[in-house]
Amino acid sequence: MKKSTHLLALSLSSIVLLGCPQKDPEVTDAGTTPIADAGANSDAGSNLDNGTDCQTVPNEDMGICSVANDAYLPRQNNSADDSWDACISDDNTYHLAGDSTPSSVARVEAFDRIGALLWDHSITPPADNFVQAKLIYAEDSGVGSRVARRYDTHYPKPPNGESCQDEGVPAQYPDYCVGPATLEPIINEAFLQGGQGNDPALNSARVRAALMWFFYVSAVKEGMSCAAKAKDCDSSWAYHTGGTDRDNPIGLGRAIKRVAPETYNQAFDGNLAIRCWRDLDSAETAENEALQLRAVNQLDAALIQGFAAIIKDELDHADCSTGLYRDSALEFVRTVAPLFNRPFAEKDPTAAAAFLSGLEGTVNIPTLTGYVFNAFNCN
């Protein structure tokens, strides 16, 4: 049997791909760079030279990070002494805490539908594709409804209990109210400009980056709110994997798995850790905050490492491409870099600052790649 050990409360601060295209797949990895020029000059009468694309070969080249000493290890033999008591997740399978499939599964599926319109098949999607993608985004109880209210649990709550849906609060607390303060404006403006035929490659990349960060923040947030609502554990798992088994993720999980498969599996272990905690701490409102933080931190650390691998892969893609392919990859990185600055600065504040400033003006891609690699290198 597993043994219990003294639990220490951990800080929640802890420490996607966008790889190059494959030839004519029926379904591409969510978040990949467009696979081909499908009538690129058909929108807005553009006659731009789209440039050259290339192939990257992601292979987890930043290494595989060691997990915390108190991590939950569901892929080991169920009797392994990982300091966790026996629980529902010990069979290495996610079991729902709620009574039904979480609605967040449909939002991840919507992300893939948006991707089919904006980045899976053309570096310059036509304007109407942005219009159709915005309709998917704006579906009732869909992705847009959650972006508009998403808060980031890595930052302190407003001191007087204000909601991010209250007027003026997002502007006053933009880090905490990341959805309405930052992500929603980026996404809405990109849909607007793309729908007018302006810079389709860049606006596609902006939508892609902002939505992928939304799914990361959401997976962590739901792991925290699961203390009050057990079914939110299911939403955390779904925002990461699309509500699938370990081997067949969609959305963010598929993106991470493409560039860093073991890191993805570590994140899935984190989802199982959250479910294990909630099984062991099964009161209507959970009581063991220390065990919750252990579980959520396990998921968070792996997701951030996966996002770092995605950013590096995008930089690799930009480095070996030209024209719009290069510009699109760099725009993804520019969009997500300010959001990623928090975990980057926790690793190396000097490199994090240099990374942000290096994305301005003329970009030295190998230098930027070095900042990411050195900070997140687990070799």
pLDDT score for 80:
54
Query: Could you tell me if residue 82 is left (phi over 0), alpha (psi between -120 and 50 degrees) or otherwise beta?
Result: alpha
User: How many Cβ atoms sit within 10 Å of the Cβ of residue 327?
Assistant: 19
Pairwise CA distance, residues 237 & 113, whole Å = 20
Q: What share of the chain is helix, strand, coil (3-state, %, to 5)?
A: 55, 0, 45
What is the CB-side half-sphere exposure of residue 65 using CA atoms within 13 A? 27
302 and 270 in contact (C-beta within 8 Å)? yes
Pairwise CA distance, residues 60 & 178, whole Å = 29
Element (H, E) at 110: helix 104-118
- Over residues 232-288, the pLDDT tens digits come to 999 999 999 999 999 999 999 999 999 999 999 999 999 999 999 999 999 999 999
Burial class of residue 245, CB neighbours in 10 A (0-12, 13-18, 19+) = exposed
pLDDT score for 76:
83
Pairwise CA distance, residues 78 & 75, whole Å = 8
- Over residues 115-150, the pLDDT tens digits come to 999 999 999 999 999 999 999 999 999 999 999 999
Element (H, E) at 344: helix 323-347
Residues 6 or more apart whose CB falls under 8 angstroms from that of 140 comprise none
CA nearest 278: which of 105, 101, 95, 104? Answer: 95
Using CA atoms, how far residue 187 sits from 133, 137, 245, in Å, is 11, 10, 30
Pairwise CA distance, residues 35 & 283, whole Å = 48
30 and 111 in contact (C-beta within 8 Å)? yes
CA nearest 292: which of 195, 222, 189, 358? Answer: 222
Pairwise CA distance, residues 116 & 112, whole Å = 6
Pairwise CA distance, residues 13 & 293, whole Å = 10
Pairwise CA distance, residues 80 & 192, whole Å = 53
Residues 6 or more apart whose CB falls under 8 angstroms from that of 216 comprise 16, 252, 303, 304, 307
Per-position pLDDT tens, the chain of length 379? 454 333 333 333 333 333 333 333 333 343 333 333 333 333 333 445 799 999 888 889 999 999 999 999 999 865 455 789 999 999 999 999 999 999 999 999 999 999 999 999 999 999 999 999 999 999 999 999 999 999 999 999 999 889 999 999 999 999 999 999 999 999 999 999 999 999 999 999 999 999 999 999 999 999 999 999 999 999 999 999 999 999 999 999 999 999 999 999 999 999 999 999 999 999 999 999 999 999 999 999 999 999 999 999 999 999 999 999 999 999 999 999 999 999 999 999 999 999 999 999 999 999 999 999 999 999 9
CA nearest 320: which of 60, 19, 47? Answer: 19
In this structure, the chain runs to a length of: 379
Show the tokens assigned to 181.
């303060």
Write down the residue that tokens 């792996």 correspond to.
Answer: 302
Residues 6 or more apart whose CB falls under 8 angstroms from that of 47 comprise 41
3-state DSSP assignment of residue 371: helix
Query: Could you tell me if residue 350 is left (phi over 0), alpha (psi between -120 and 50 degrees) or otherwise beta?
Result: alpha
Which amino acid would we find at residue 38?
Answer: A
